[in-house]
Structure 1
Amino acid sequence: MAGLQKCNSVAKPSFSKPIVTATDDHPCFDATLYRRIIGSLQYLTLTRPDIAYAVNVLLQHMHDPAPQHTLMLKKLLRYIKGSTDFGIPQLRTFSDADWASDSVTRKSTSGYFTFLGNTLVSWTVKKQSTVSRSSTESEYRALAAATTDTLWIRRLLLDFRINLSNR
């Protein structure tokens, strides 16, 4: 699409200083292609937070990209080309339950939290809806709720075509 399949990569995705171009320079991409690429990169920021700032800077010039903005986009694409192994790490969920923790209702409290790599993406602590007869039963209920949430997150990631490895 952008014709950069054989480009060299760069080490940083962001720009500390604007790229200076001559006034008669032509843009690397036309405005329509610029918008298409930026639109695609918006979705990529969900799995690549390292490019979020650079994409945001380029989004601000989406309606009238100057030649310097197309050069900045080209630099960002070169960074992405050199860092294709970056992305979403492993999905992990932890759960626990406190059996009969409410002294009045004898209901257990369960909690779970889910990490995507080192980032907490979901957590819940709540009283279970029924009384458990044993600590095993309350742990099972907590695990069932955590599994349901984890499967939902996994399916959401698959909707974005992010396939997590089964480790």
Structure 2
Amino acid sequence: MATLIPALIVMGVSGCGKSSVGEAIVRYSGGMLIEGDQYHPAENIAKMSAGIPLDDDDRAGWLARLGEVLAAAVAAGEHPVMPCSALKRQYRERLRYAVPGLGFVFLELSREVAGQRVSNRPGHFMPASLIDSQFATLEPPNGEPQTLVLDATLPIDRLGQLTAEWWRHPQPHVRRA
């Protein structure tokens, strides 16, 4: 796969479909999925499971680890797709520092739809009670380089297709409904 973007982060609030869309992107792009949530330390998962939002300090080690994992995959010749909330610009900048040219796919979603989706998601550590904190933390990546903004209510398969197409022929900042 020839691309100017070595790896992708599928970002957004909880419930936007990051993991499902990441899987669809991999199907259409030939990339490899690396689930960002798997790298949360036990303390972060316990905190979120208890309904306590993470702060910048909680996320610092997690983001450093994600950057290492992404950089290693790219160095090995892989094309990783990583679902990761990446809610703040400073988090995205840390990841961009680890992997220059990193692309972001922002799955935009309303608070109401996110709440419904998270409430109906069995077995996940992130409770619906944390949706408001996710939106309070979110700094949309408007105008940021190598960023595709998509409506998260589109069918997952379509989101995967749109992203794979953009990844093959990237443009600096694109918004598609």
Alignment TM-score, normalising by the size of structure 2: 0.24
* Greater RCO, CA 8 A, separation 6+: 2
Greater gyration radius: 1
Alignment TM-score, normalising by the size of structure 1: 0.25
Q: Specify which structure has the higher proportion of helix.
A: 2
